[in-house]
Chains A and B, each alone.
Chain A
């Protein structure tokens, strides 16, 4: 079976930096995605990694180590609007590519 682990909940302070970890054990790997989901809304795409290393996009960065089955999402200069759930998902190669999601990490940003 597939396994993706993320912390259930984290709390951080406005203006700070927070790192959300994701570890995965999957039968195959075609890339790792991070999504943001505000309460009551649909997930929206944040980042994609398929090679080892860091991808930076404004205040958000994502890191991947395929040998360790590990990724993290780094959020800098936290804002109140960053309070949301962050979903880690692995793209699996089967008959056709398909996603497998972790349970998500709920981030609470406090003033």
Chain B
């Protein structure tokens, strides 16, 4: 089991560019989510999905799009990058997010927008 994988590990973009952060899991988890982590602000939920074809917004969804066409993959798209989107992005997955079912986090993508 590779667990939760994210690519790329590092990325530098110019303002206005678009890109997709990839996230995949091989644990057959239904629940997947994207967070961003900024200094002093903890983890903030961007978007999440409870299964293929079902997504919902988190706290900070503006400027990001997601889709979930398969159980394994949950890509995050930045439509037009802005310096405010400079952050570390974590993808996480869990079976159901019920009870004590915890989330497993990927290694993160460090994004810089110039």
**Chain A residues in the interface with B (C-beta under 8 A):** 4, 8, 31, 33, 41-45, 48, 50, 87, 89, 91, 94-104
Interface residues of B in 33-81 (CB under 8 A from A): 33, 35, 40-45, 48, 50, 56, 58-59
Q: A-B contact count, CB below 8 Å?
A: 58
**Chain B residues, CB < 8 A from A101:** 35, 42-44
Contact A41 B103 (CB under 8 A): no
* Chain B, residue nearest A55 (CB): B100
**Chain A residues, CB < 8 A from B41:** 103
Residue B1, interface by CB 8 Å: no
Interface residues of B in 59-114 (CB under 8 A from A): 59, 90, 97-100, 102-108
Please name 6 pairs of A and B residues whose Cβ atoms are closer than 8 Å in the assembled complex, sorted by A. Answer: A41-B108, A43-B43, A43-B105, A94-B56, A96-B97, A101-B42
* Chain B, residue nearest A85 (CB): B42
**Chain A residues, CB < 8 A from B31:** 96
**Chain A residues, CB < 8 A from B40:** 8, 103
A89 to chain B, nearest CB (A): 8
Bound-state CA distance A50–B102 (Å) is 13
Contact A45 B103 (CB under 8 A): yes
**Chain A residues, CB < 8 A from B100:** 31, 48, 50
A46 to chain B, nearest CB (A): 9
Contact A98 B105 (CB under 8 A): no
Contact A41 B42 (CB under 8 A): no
Contact B108 A42 (CB under 8 A): yes
A4 to chain B, nearest CB (A): 8
* Chain B, residue nearest A44 (CB): B105
Q: In the complex, which of the residues A8, A33, A100 contacts B102, with contact meaning CB atoms closer than 8 Å?
A: A33
**Chain B residues, CB < 8 A from A96:** 31, 48, 50, 56, 97
**Chain A residues, CB < 8 A from B97:** 91, 96-99
Bound-state CA distance A4–B43 (Å) is 12
Q: In the complex, which of the residues B56, B90, B98, B102 contacts A45, with contact meaning CB atoms closer than 8 Å?
A: B102
Contact A41 B48 (CB under 8 A): no
